[in-house]
Amino acid sequence: MRAMNMLSPRNLISAAFGLLLIVAGVVLNQRLASLRRPPVQSPETVVTPLVETIPLQATTEPLIIHGFGTIRARVAAALAAEVAGRVVFRHPGFEAGGEVEAGQVLLRIDPEPYRLQVERAEAQLAQNLAQQASLEDEIAGYRASLAVASAAVQLARREAARFERLAQESATSRSQADKTEAALQAALAAEVRDQNNLRLALGRRPALKAAEQQARAALAEARLALQRTEIVAPFAGRIDRRDIEAGEYVTPGKVVGALHDPSTFEVRIPVALSDLPWLYSQAAMGGVASAAAPAGPTLERREAEVLLCLPTRGVAAACWRGRVERIGQTVAERTRTVEVVVAIPLRPPVTGEAPVPLMQGMFVEVALQGRPVEGVFRIPRGAVSNRDTVNLWREGRLRVTPCEILRYDRDDAFVRFPTQAGDRLIVSPVPTPVDGMPLQAATAAASL
Protein backbone atom coordinates (compact mmCIF):
# COMPACT_ATOMS: atom_id res chain seq x y z
CA MET A 1 0.00 0.00 0.00
CA ARG A 2 2.92 2.32 0.92
CA ALA A 3 4.70 1.50 -2.40
CA MET A 4 1.61 2.40 -4.35
CA ASN A 5 1.50 5.85 -2.64
CA MET A 6 5.12 6.57 -3.61
CA LEU A 7 4.37 5.79 -7.31
CA SER A 8 1.44 8.11 -7.42
CA PRO A 9 1.30 10.64 -10.33
CA ARG A 10 1.82 13.56 -8.00
CA ASN A 11 5.10 12.24 -6.62
CA LEU A 12 6.36 11.36 -10.06
CA ILE A 13 5.73 14.89 -11.30
CA SER A 14 7.64 16.40 -8.32
CA ALA A 15 10.60 14.14 -8.90
CA ALA A 16 10.71 14.98 -12.59
CA PHE A 17 10.58 18.70 -11.86
CA GLY A 18 13.49 18.49 -9.38
CA LEU A 19 15.61 16.55 -11.83
CA LEU A 20 14.91 19.17 -14.47
CA LEU A 21 16.10 21.94 -12.17
CA ILE A 22 19.36 20.12 -11.47
CA VAL A 23 20.06 19.60 -15.15
CA ALA A 24 19.30 23.27 -15.89
CA GLY A 25 21.71 24.42 -13.13
CA VAL A 26 24.53 22.29 -14.48
CA VAL A 27 24.01 23.57 -18.02
CA LEU A 28 23.88 27.20 -16.83
CA ASN A 29 27.09 26.84 -14.76
CA GLN A 30 28.97 25.41 -17.74
CA ARG A 31 27.73 28.25 -19.91
CA LEU A 32 28.90 30.90 -17.47
CA ALA A 33 32.27 29.20 -17.08
CA SER A 34 32.77 29.32 -20.82
CA LEU A 35 32.09 33.07 -20.83
CA ARG A 36 34.61 33.90 -17.91
CA ARG A 37 37.88 35.67 -18.96
CA PRO A 38 41.17 34.55 -17.40
CA PRO A 39 42.93 37.16 -15.02
CA VAL A 40 45.67 39.34 -16.44
CA GLN A 41 49.09 38.05 -15.29
CA SER A 42 51.47 40.88 -14.07
CA PRO A 43 55.23 40.36 -13.56
CA GLU A 44 56.39 39.94 -9.90
CA THR A 45 58.42 42.95 -8.49
CA VAL A 46 60.81 43.03 -5.47
CA VAL A 47 61.03 46.28 -3.40
CA THR A 48 64.61 47.09 -2.26
CA PRO A 49 64.72 49.02 1.08
CA LEU A 50 66.07 52.56 0.88
CA VAL A 51 68.61 53.49 3.58
CA GLU A 52 70.54 56.64 4.40
CA THR A 53 74.32 56.25 4.32
CA ILE A 54 77.37 58.38 4.94
CA PRO A 55 80.97 57.86 3.81
CA LEU A 56 83.57 56.42 6.20
CA GLN A 57 86.95 57.96 6.88
CA ALA A 58 89.29 56.63 9.60
CA THR A 59 91.07 59.39 11.50
CA THR A 60 93.60 59.88 14.28
CA GLU A 61 92.23 62.15 16.96
CA PRO A 62 92.32 62.46 20.74
CA LEU A 63 89.37 61.22 22.71
CA ILE A 64 87.59 63.96 24.62
CA ILE A 65 86.29 63.24 28.12
CA HIS A 66 83.62 65.67 29.26
CA GLY A 67 82.90 66.44 32.88
CA PHE A 68 81.51 69.07 35.20
CA GLY A 69 82.87 70.54 38.39
CA THR A 70 83.03 73.53 40.69
CA ILE A 71 85.88 76.02 40.62
CA ARG A 72 87.98 76.09 43.78
CA ALA A 73 91.06 78.10 44.64
CA ARG A 74 94.25 76.08 44.38
CA VAL A 75 95.82 78.00 47.29
CA ALA A 76 93.56 79.15 50.11
CA ALA A 77 94.10 79.90 53.78
CA ALA A 78 92.03 80.61 56.85
CA LEU A 79 93.27 83.49 58.99
CA ALA A 80 93.24 82.77 62.72
CA ALA A 81 94.43 84.59 65.82
CA GLU A 82 97.44 83.04 67.57
CA VAL A 83 97.34 85.20 70.71
CA ALA A 84 94.54 86.57 72.85
CA GLY A 85 93.64 90.21 73.06
CA ARG A 86 91.48 93.02 71.79
CA VAL A 87 91.64 94.02 68.13
CA VAL A 88 92.89 97.61 67.92
CA PHE A 89 93.39 97.89 64.14
CA ARG A 90 91.72 96.54 60.99
CA HIS A 91 93.00 97.24 57.50
CA PRO A 92 90.38 98.95 55.31
CA GLY A 93 91.01 96.42 52.53
CA PHE A 94 90.24 93.50 54.84
CA GLU A 95 86.76 93.02 53.40
CA ALA A 96 85.15 90.29 51.31
CA GLY A 97 86.38 90.77 47.75
CA GLY A 98 89.29 93.00 48.74
CA GLU A 99 92.75 92.36 47.34
CA VAL A 100 95.77 92.35 49.64
CA GLU A 101 99.53 92.02 49.21
CA ALA A 102 101.74 89.41 50.79
CA GLY A 103 102.84 90.45 54.29
CA GLN A 104 100.22 93.18 54.58
CA VAL A 105 98.94 93.72 58.14
CA LEU A 106 95.23 92.94 58.17
CA LEU A 107 94.54 92.99 61.92
CA ARG A 108 96.50 94.10 64.97
CA ILE A 109 95.80 92.84 68.47
CA ASP A 110 96.67 95.10 71.43
CA PRO A 111 100.47 94.64 71.66
CA GLU A 112 101.09 96.34 75.05
CA PRO A 113 100.77 93.22 77.27
CA TYR A 114 103.11 91.32 74.97
CA ARG A 115 105.58 94.21 74.80
CA LEU A 116 105.74 94.14 78.60
CA GLN A 117 106.42 90.41 78.46
CA VAL A 118 109.32 91.11 76.11
CA GLU A 119 110.75 93.70 78.50
CA ARG A 120 110.35 91.32 81.42
CA ALA A 121 112.11 88.55 79.51
CA GLU A 122 114.91 90.93 78.49
CA ALA A 123 115.39 91.97 82.10
CA GLN A 124 115.47 88.36 83.21
CA LEU A 125 118.12 87.59 80.63
CA ALA A 126 120.17 90.64 81.60
CA GLN A 127 120.00 89.60 85.24
CA ASN A 128 121.21 86.13 84.38
CA LEU A 129 124.09 87.47 82.30
CA ALA A 130 125.07 89.74 85.18
CA GLN A 131 125.04 86.79 87.55
CA GLN A 132 127.26 84.86 85.20
CA ALA A 133 129.67 87.78 84.92
CA SER A 134 129.77 88.06 88.71
CA LEU A 135 130.40 84.34 88.97
CA GLU A 136 133.27 84.56 86.51
CA ASP A 137 134.83 87.35 88.58
CA GLU A 138 134.35 85.24 91.68
CA ILE A 139 135.96 82.24 89.98
CA ALA A 140 138.88 84.39 88.87
CA GLY A 141 139.32 85.63 92.47
CA TYR A 142 139.23 82.10 93.85
CA ARG A 143 141.80 80.99 91.33
CA ALA A 144 144.12 83.85 92.24
CA SER A 145 143.64 83.18 95.95
CA LEU A 146 144.29 79.48 95.37
CA ALA A 147 147.52 80.30 93.57
CA VAL A 148 148.68 82.43 96.51
CA ALA A 149 147.63 79.76 98.99
CA SER A 150 149.52 77.08 97.05
CA ALA A 151 152.66 79.23 97.05
CA ALA A 152 152.28 79.82 100.79
CA VAL A 153 151.96 76.08 101.36
CA GLN A 154 155.19 75.46 99.47
CA LEU A 155 156.98 78.12 101.47
CA ALA A 156 155.60 76.88 104.78
CA ARG A 157 156.54 73.32 103.92
CA ARG A 158 160.16 74.29 103.23
CA GLU A 159 160.30 76.40 106.39
CA ALA A 160 158.87 73.60 108.52
CA ALA A 161 161.37 71.11 107.09
CA ARG A 162 164.26 73.47 107.78
CA PHE A 163 163.24 74.09 111.39
CA GLU A 164 162.71 70.37 111.90
CA ARG A 165 166.33 69.71 110.92
CA LEU A 166 167.53 72.51 113.16
CA ALA A 167 165.53 71.11 116.08
CA GLN A 168 167.02 67.68 115.55
CA GLU A 169 170.51 69.26 115.56
CA SER A 170 169.57 71.24 118.70
CA ALA A 171 170.24 74.41 116.73
CA THR A 172 166.80 75.75 117.60
CA SER A 173 164.13 75.08 120.12
CA ARG A 174 161.35 72.55 119.64
CA SER A 175 158.74 75.24 120.16
CA GLN A 176 160.07 77.16 117.20
CA ALA A 177 159.82 74.03 115.04
CA ASP A 178 156.26 73.49 116.22
CA LYS A 179 155.37 77.05 115.23
CA THR A 180 156.60 76.47 111.68
CA GLU A 181 154.60 73.23 111.54
CA ALA A 182 151.48 75.09 112.68
CA ALA A 183 152.10 77.70 110.00
CA LEU A 184 152.26 74.90 107.42
CA GLN A 185 148.94 73.49 108.58
CA ALA A 186 147.33 76.91 108.38
CA ALA A 187 148.63 77.35 104.84
CA LEU A 188 147.28 73.93 103.88
CA ALA A 189 143.88 74.80 105.36
CA ALA A 190 143.78 78.05 103.37
CA GLU A 191 144.65 76.16 100.18
CA VAL A 192 141.89 73.60 100.77
CA ARG A 193 139.39 76.39 101.48
CA ASP A 194 140.25 78.16 98.24
CA GLN A 195 140.00 74.86 96.33
CA ASN A 196 136.53 74.21 97.78
CA ASN A 197 135.38 77.74 96.99
CA LEU A 198 136.62 77.42 93.41
CA ARG A 199 134.92 74.03 93.03
CA LEU A 200 131.61 75.40 94.34
CA ALA A 201 131.82 78.41 92.03
CA LEU A 202 132.52 76.22 89.02
CA GLY A 203 129.55 74.04 90.01
CA ARG A 204 127.25 77.06 89.75
CA ARG A 205 128.17 77.60 86.11
CA PRO A 206 125.84 74.94 84.57
CA ALA A 207 122.83 76.20 86.51
CA LEU A 208 123.42 79.76 85.36
CA LYS A 209 123.97 78.59 81.77
CA ALA A 210 120.69 76.65 81.89
CA ALA A 211 118.98 79.70 83.35
CA GLU A 212 120.42 81.76 80.49
CA GLN A 213 118.98 79.36 77.91
CA GLN A 214 115.63 79.47 79.66
CA ALA A 215 115.71 83.26 79.73
CA ARG A 216 116.61 83.42 76.05
CA ALA A 217 113.78 80.99 75.21
CA ALA A 218 111.35 83.09 77.25
CA LEU A 219 112.54 86.20 75.43
CA ALA A 220 112.13 84.52 72.02
CA GLU A 221 108.65 83.34 73.00
CA ALA A 222 107.70 86.81 74.18
CA ARG A 223 108.99 88.38 70.98
CA LEU A 224 107.11 85.77 68.92
CA ALA A 225 103.90 86.50 70.82
CA LEU A 226 104.44 90.21 70.19
CA GLN A 227 104.98 89.49 66.51
CA ARG A 228 101.80 87.42 66.39
CA THR A 229 99.73 90.36 67.52
CA GLU A 230 99.78 91.32 63.84
CA ILE A 231 97.75 89.06 61.53
CA VAL A 232 99.29 89.41 58.07
CA ALA A 233 98.37 88.08 54.64
CA PRO A 234 100.51 84.96 53.99
CA PHE A 235 100.38 85.60 50.24
CA ALA A 236 98.94 88.06 47.77
CA GLY A 237 95.30 87.22 47.26
CA ARG A 238 91.65 88.09 47.50
CA ILE A 239 89.66 88.13 50.73
CA ASP A 240 86.84 85.59 50.87
CA ARG A 241 85.29 86.71 54.13
CA ARG A 242 85.93 88.70 57.31
CA ASP A 243 84.64 87.44 60.67
CA ILE A 244 86.00 90.10 63.05
CA GLU A 245 85.70 93.81 63.71
CA ALA A 246 87.95 96.30 65.49
CA GLY A 247 87.31 96.32 69.23
CA GLU A 248 86.36 92.65 69.49
CA TYR A 249 88.26 90.29 71.78
CA VAL A 250 89.84 87.24 70.18
CA THR A 251 91.31 84.06 71.61
CA PRO A 252 93.99 81.80 70.13
CA GLY A 253 92.59 79.71 67.29
CA LYS A 254 89.64 81.98 66.50
CA VAL A 255 89.19 82.25 62.71
CA VAL A 256 88.94 85.90 61.71
CA GLY A 257 88.72 85.53 57.92
CA ALA A 258 89.88 83.69 54.81
CA LEU A 259 91.59 84.50 51.53
CA HIS A 260 92.71 82.72 48.37
CA ASP A 261 95.23 83.16 45.58
CA PRO A 262 93.28 84.10 42.43
CA SER A 263 96.21 83.43 40.08
CA THR A 264 95.40 79.71 39.74
CA PHE A 265 92.13 77.85 40.20
CA GLU A 266 91.40 74.14 40.13
CA VAL A 267 88.41 72.00 39.28
CA ARG A 268 87.90 68.47 40.56
CA ILE A 269 86.25 66.29 37.91
CA PRO A 270 84.89 62.78 38.63
CA VAL A 271 86.01 60.52 35.78
CA ALA A 272 84.76 56.99 35.19
CA LEU A 273 87.30 54.20 35.41
CA SER A 274 86.65 53.27 31.78
CA ASP A 275 87.68 56.78 30.67
CA LEU A 276 90.70 57.12 32.94
CA PRO A 277 93.22 55.25 30.70
CA TRP A 278 92.80 57.83 27.93
CA LEU A 279 94.41 60.48 30.15
CA TYR A 280 97.73 58.63 30.17
CA SER A 281 100.30 58.51 27.40
CA GLN A 282 100.70 55.41 25.29
CA ALA A 283 104.16 54.79 26.79
CA ALA A 284 102.70 54.88 30.27
CA MET A 285 100.13 52.23 29.39
CA GLY A 286 102.64 49.67 28.12
CA GLY A 287 105.70 50.03 30.32
CA VAL A 288 107.83 47.10 31.40
CA ALA A 289 108.06 46.55 35.14
CA SER A 290 111.39 47.24 36.82
CA ALA A 291 112.67 48.51 40.14
CA ALA A 292 113.04 52.02 38.75
CA ALA A 293 109.90 52.03 36.58
CA PRO A 294 107.05 49.83 37.79
CA ALA A 295 104.58 48.54 35.24
CA GLY A 296 101.41 50.44 34.54
CA PRO A 297 100.59 54.12 34.00
CA THR A 298 102.42 56.75 35.98
CA LEU A 299 101.33 60.29 36.71
CA GLU A 300 104.65 61.73 35.56
CA ARG A 301 104.03 60.55 31.99
CA ARG A 302 100.42 61.56 31.61
CA GLU A 303 99.52 63.82 28.68
CA ALA A 304 96.26 65.70 28.65
CA GLU A 305 95.05 69.13 27.67
CA VAL A 306 92.02 70.71 29.24
CA LEU A 307 89.45 73.16 27.97
CA LEU A 308 87.24 74.72 30.64
CA CYS A 309 84.11 76.47 29.38
CA LEU A 310 81.75 78.83 31.15
CA PRO A 311 78.32 78.64 29.48
CA THR A 312 76.84 82.03 28.60
CA ARG A 313 73.41 82.97 27.37
CA GLY A 314 73.13 84.27 23.82
CA VAL A 315 76.88 84.38 23.07
CA ALA A 316 79.68 81.91 22.50
CA ALA A 317 80.92 80.17 25.62
CA ALA A 318 84.11 81.56 27.14
CA CYS A 319 86.76 78.83 27.42
CA TRP A 320 90.09 78.70 29.22
CA ARG A 321 92.94 76.28 28.66
CA GLY A 322 94.40 74.32 31.57
CA ARG A 323 96.16 71.08 32.38
CA VAL A 324 95.70 67.97 34.46
CA GLU A 325 97.46 68.67 37.74
CA ARG A 326 97.04 65.29 39.39
CA ILE A 327 94.86 62.20 39.36
CA GLY A 328 93.44 60.69 42.50
CA GLN A 329 94.41 57.21 43.59
CA THR A 330 91.12 56.30 45.28
CA VAL A 331 87.93 55.09 43.61
CA ALA A 332 84.72 56.53 45.06
CA GLU A 333 82.64 53.65 46.38
CA ARG A 334 79.27 55.14 45.47
CA THR A 335 80.01 56.53 42.00
CA ARG A 336 82.97 54.29 41.02
CA THR A 337 84.81 57.32 39.69
CA VAL A 338 88.28 58.77 40.19
CA GLU A 339 88.85 62.44 40.92
CA VAL A 340 90.93 64.32 38.34
CA VAL A 341 92.23 67.72 39.45
CA VAL A 342 92.50 70.32 36.69
CA ALA A 343 94.58 73.49 37.19
CA ILE A 344 93.37 76.66 35.44
CA PRO A 345 95.87 79.58 35.40
CA LEU A 346 94.42 83.07 35.47
CA ARG A 347 94.66 84.04 31.81
CA PRO A 348 92.30 85.51 29.21
CA PRO A 349 89.93 82.96 27.65
CA VAL A 350 91.15 81.30 24.45
CA THR A 351 87.67 81.46 22.92
CA GLY A 352 84.70 83.71 23.53
CA GLU A 353 84.46 86.66 25.88
CA ALA A 354 84.05 86.17 29.60
CA PRO A 355 81.19 88.27 31.00
CA VAL A 356 82.70 87.87 34.48
CA PRO A 357 86.11 86.65 35.65
CA LEU A 358 86.59 83.15 36.99
CA MET A 359 85.50 82.95 40.61
CA GLN A 360 85.23 80.32 43.28
CA GLY A 361 82.00 78.38 43.24
CA MET A 362 81.35 78.64 39.50
CA PHE A 363 79.96 75.45 37.95
CA VAL A 364 81.80 74.82 34.70
CA GLU A 365 82.10 72.22 31.98
CA VAL A 366 85.52 70.68 31.41
CA ALA A 367 86.76 68.83 28.31
CA LEU A 368 89.75 66.59 29.02
CA GLN A 369 91.78 65.79 25.92
CA GLY A 370 93.05 62.23 26.08
CA ARG A 371 95.78 60.58 24.09
CA PRO A 372 95.21 60.29 20.30
CA VAL A 373 93.93 57.03 18.83
CA GLU A 374 94.78 55.87 15.31
CA GLY A 375 92.37 54.28 12.85
CA VAL A 376 89.22 55.26 14.69
CA PHE A 377 85.80 56.08 13.23
CA ARG A 378 83.69 58.77 14.83
CA ILE A 379 80.12 57.80 14.01
CA PRO A 380 76.66 58.66 15.34
CA ARG A 381 75.94 56.80 18.54
CA GLY A 382 72.66 55.47 17.14
CA ALA A 383 74.53 53.66 14.37
CA VAL A 384 75.89 51.14 16.90
CA SER A 385 73.48 48.34 17.74
CA ASN A 386 73.00 46.89 21.18
CA ARG A 387 74.97 43.88 19.93
CA ASP A 388 78.05 46.06 19.25
CA THR A 389 77.64 45.89 15.47
CA VAL A 390 77.32 48.46 12.69
CA ASN A 391 75.43 48.19 9.40
CA LEU A 392 77.54 48.82 6.30
CA TRP A 393 76.34 49.33 2.73
CA ARG A 394 78.69 47.40 0.47
CA GLU A 395 78.01 47.08 -3.27
CA GLY A 396 74.26 47.32 -2.77
CA ARG A 397 74.02 44.84 0.08
CA LEU A 398 73.88 44.96 3.86
CA ARG A 399 76.94 43.87 5.81
CA VAL A 400 76.43 43.51 9.56
CA THR A 401 79.94 44.12 10.96
CA PRO A 402 81.10 43.68 14.58
CA CYS A 403 82.88 46.74 15.97
CA GLU A 404 85.20 47.58 18.86
CA ILE A 405 83.70 50.38 20.93
CA LEU A 406 86.43 52.58 22.38
CA ARG A 407 84.08 54.98 24.13
CA TYR A 408 80.92 57.00 23.75
CA ASP A 409 81.00 60.78 23.72
CA ARG A 410 77.53 62.26 24.02
CA ASP A 411 75.90 61.66 20.58
CA ASP A 412 79.04 60.16 19.02
CA ALA A 413 80.78 56.82 19.30
CA PHE A 414 84.46 56.14 18.73
CA VAL A 415 84.74 52.67 17.19
CA ARG A 416 87.01 50.44 15.16
CA PHE A 417 85.88 47.87 12.56
CA PRO A 418 87.21 46.40 9.29
CA THR A 419 86.15 48.14 6.08
CA GLN A 420 86.58 47.77 2.33
CA ALA A 421 86.86 50.36 -0.40
CA GLY A 422 83.48 51.89 -1.13
CA ASP A 423 81.88 50.94 2.18
CA ARG A 424 79.35 53.39 3.59
CA LEU A 425 77.84 53.53 7.05
CA ILE A 426 74.08 53.07 7.30
CA VAL A 427 72.68 55.65 9.72
CA SER A 428 68.96 55.04 9.19
CA PRO A 429 67.04 52.14 10.79
CA VAL A 430 67.03 48.83 8.90
CA PRO A 431 63.94 46.77 9.80
CA THR A 432 64.83 43.12 10.34
CA PRO A 433 68.42 43.41 9.12
CA VAL A 434 69.77 40.27 7.45
CA ASP A 435 73.38 40.13 6.38
CA GLY A 436 73.58 40.18 2.59
CA MET A 437 70.10 41.58 1.93
CA PRO A 438 69.93 44.09 -0.98
CA LEU A 439 69.72 47.76 -0.10
CA GLN A 440 69.43 51.02 -1.93
CA ALA A 441 71.61 53.89 -0.64
CA ALA A 442 70.26 57.41 -0.34
CA THR A 443 72.24 60.60 -0.91
CA ALA A 444 75.33 60.76 1.31
CA ALA A 445 75.56 63.16 4.24
CA ALA A 446 78.74 64.71 5.66
CA SER A 447 81.69 62.33 5.77
CA LEU A 448 83.12 61.04 9.01
Query: What is the reported pLDDT for 11?
Result: 66
Average pLDDT (280-302) is 45
Q: What is the pLDDT of residues 147-197, one digit of tens each?
A: 888 888 888 788 777 777 776 767 667 777 677 778 878 888 888 888 888
The residue-averaged pLDDT of 323-328 equals 86
pLDDT of 296 > 60? The answer is no
**Residue 32, amino acid:** L
Mean pLDDT of the region 80-103 = 94
Lowest-pLDDT choice from 73-82, 354-363, 439-448: 439-448
Phi, psi of 187 (to 5 degrees): -65, -40
Cα angle: 432, vertex 436, 442; to 5 degrees: 75
Lowest mean pLDDT among 27-41, 86-100, 135-149: 27-41
Q: Which residue has the higher pLDDT, 349 or 74?
A: 74
Q: CATH code for 79-108+229-257?
A: 2.40.50.100
Helix axes 174-227, 112-168, angle to 10 degrees: 170
pLDDT digits (tens, 9 = 90+) for 367-426: 888 888 888 999 999 999 988 999 999 988 999 999 999 888 888 999 999 998 889 999
Beta-sheet pairing, 230-232 with 424-426: unpaired
**How many Å is the Cα radius of gyration of the chain?**
55
pLDDT, tens digit, 9 for 90 and up, residues 170-180: 766 777 767 77
Contact assessment for residue 275 and residue 335, using Cβ atoms and an 8 Å cutoff: no
Which pLDDT score is estimated for 224?
96
| Position 438, amino acid | P
pLDDT, position 108 = 96
Tell me the percentage of the chain whose pLDDT exceeds 70: 81
The backbone torsions φ and ψ at residue 18, rounded to the nearest 5 degrees and listed phi first, read -65, -40
- What is the pLDDT at residue 348? 82
Give the model's pLDDT for residue 311: 64
The pLDDT of residue 372 is: 83
d(CA 405, CA 393) in angstroms, rounded, equals 20
Percent of the chain with pLDDT over 90: 37
pLDDT digits (tens, 9 = 90+) for 266-276: 999 999 988 88
Asked if pLDDT for residue 318 goes beyond 90, the answer is: no
pLDDT at 441: 84
What integer pLDDT is reported at residue 230 of this predicted model? 96
Angle at 325 between CA 100 and CA 69, to 5 degrees: 80
Domain coordinates in residue numbering, the chain: 79-108+229-257, 113-225, 264-286+298-441
Q: What is the pLDDT of residue 390?
A: 93
Interatomic CA distance for residues 411 and 264, integer angstroms: 33
